[in-house]
Amino acid sequence: MTKGVKICLAAVIVIFLAAAAAVILMSLRTGQHIAVIEQNGEIIYRIDLDKETDREFTVTSPDGGQNTICIKDGTICVSEADCPDKTCVNTGILRNEGTPIVCLPHKLIIRFADENGG
Amino acid sequence: MKTKRLAELSLLTAAALVVFIVELRLPDLSSVPGVKLGLANIFTVYAVYRFSARETFLMVLSRVLLGALFSSNFSAILYSLAGAMLCLAGMLLLRKVIPQRFMWLCSIIGAMLHNTGQMAVAVAQMRSLTPLMWYPKLIIAGCIAGLFTGLCAQHVVDRLTPGNKRKADKK
Q: Do A92 and B32 touch (CB under 8 A)?
A: no
What's the CA angle centered on A88, arms B24 and B78, to 5 degrees? 55
- Which residue of chain A comes nearest to B125, CA vs CA? A107
pLDDT of residue A65: 85
pLDDT at A39 over 60: yes
Please report the pLDDT score of residue A75 as a whole number.
Answer: 87
> What is the model's pLDDT at position B34?
74
In the predicted structure, residue A107 carries a pLDDT above the cut 90? no
Where is average pLDDT lowest: A27-36, A38-47, B106-115? A27-36
Q: Can you give the pLDDT at residue B93? A: 94
Domain range B2-22+36-160, its CATH number among 1.10.1760, 2.40.10, 3.30.70, 1.20.58: 1.10.1760
Residue A11, pLDDT > 90, answer yes
Determine whether the interchain pair B128/A97 forms a contact, defined as Cβ–Cβ distance below 8 Å. Answer: no
Give the pLDDT confidence of B104-129 residue by residue, as tens digits.
Answer: 999 999 999 999 999 999 899 888 88
> Residue B122: which H helix or E strand, with range?
helix B103-126
pLDDT at A16: 94
Q: What's the 3-state SS for B18-35?
A: HHHHHHHHCCCCCCCCCC
Q: End-to-end alpha-carbon separation of chain B, Å?
A: 17
What is the number of alpha carbons within 13 Å of residue A23 lying toward its C-beta? 15
Task: Report ipTM for this prediction.
Answer: 0.80
pLDDT of A116 reads 54
Inter-CA distances, B103 with B51, B63, B81, B138, B160, Å: 14, 21, 22, 21, 14
pLDDT of amino acid B82: 93
- What amino acid is encoded at B59 in this protein? M
Residue of B33, B99, B137 with shortest CB distance to A87: B33
Taking the domain A32-112, which CATH number applies? 2.60.320.10
Q: Is the pTM of this model over 0.90?
A: no
Chain pair A-B, CB pairs under 8 angstroms: 96
Which residues in chain B come in under a pLDDT of 50? 167-171
- Kindly list the domain boundaries of chain A, sorted by start residue: 1-30, 32-112
Q: Report pLDDT for B167.
A: 46
Residue pair B49/B95 in contact (Cβ under 8 Å)? The answer is yes
Which among A18, A85, A107 has CB closest to B125?
A: A107
Give the pLDDT mean for A98-102.
84
Contact residues, chain B to chain A, C-beta under 8 Å = 28, 31-33, 73, 75, 94, 97-99, 102, 105-106, 108-109, 112, 122, 125-128, 130-131, 133-137, 139-140, 143
Domain boundaries, chain B: 2-22+36-160
Q: What is the pLDDT of residue B147?
A: 95
* H or E segment to which residue A72 belongs: strand A66-72
What does the pLDDT look like over A46-96, one tens digit per residue?
Answer: 888 888 888 888 988 888 888 999 998 888 999 989 888 788 888 888 887
The per-residue pLDDT for A87 is: 82
Mean pLDDT, chain A, integer: 85
Residue B38: per-residue pLDDT: 87
d(CA B5, CA B12): 11
Q: What is the mean pLDDT of residues A99-115?
A: 84
